[in-house]
Amino acid sequence: MGKIRLKNIRIHSNHGCLKEEMLIGSDYRVDLEVTSDLSKPADSDILTETVDYVHLNNIIKDEMLVRSNLLEHVAKRIIDRIFLELPQVTQIEVEVAKINPPIGGDVESVAVILNSQRQ
């Protein structure tokens, strides 16, 4: 088994429950780690035999553009779509963080981390 990580994917989106968040949006950071058997592509050096991180990044970008009230919902959609489109992925951890959240204090970010394993 092996892991593929995408770190610090930055994107602007309109998630949140506040009207301002829906209209103006916020900056977000997404970190992703997937587990898969990487032994075959490690030997073959063939892209189609591994988990393509470009595909992973595109899933994240697509799902981050679909407005949600909760970060939990966005993270779950990312997980569901990865399992649907990339059958070689066996485990996922995704962190979705809102940068400088409007919570009435000097807070760098708030984040939700979800873990899931293929059934």
Q: Let me know if 60 is exposed, middle or buried by CB neighbors in 10 A (0-12, 13-18, 19+).
A: buried
Q: Could you tell me the two tokens for 102? A: 């409007």
| Set 19, 61, 76, 98: catalytic member | 98
Residues sharing a CB contact under 8 Å with residue 53, sequence separation 6 or more, in sequence order: 4, 6
- 98 an active-site residue? yes
Catalytic residues: 98
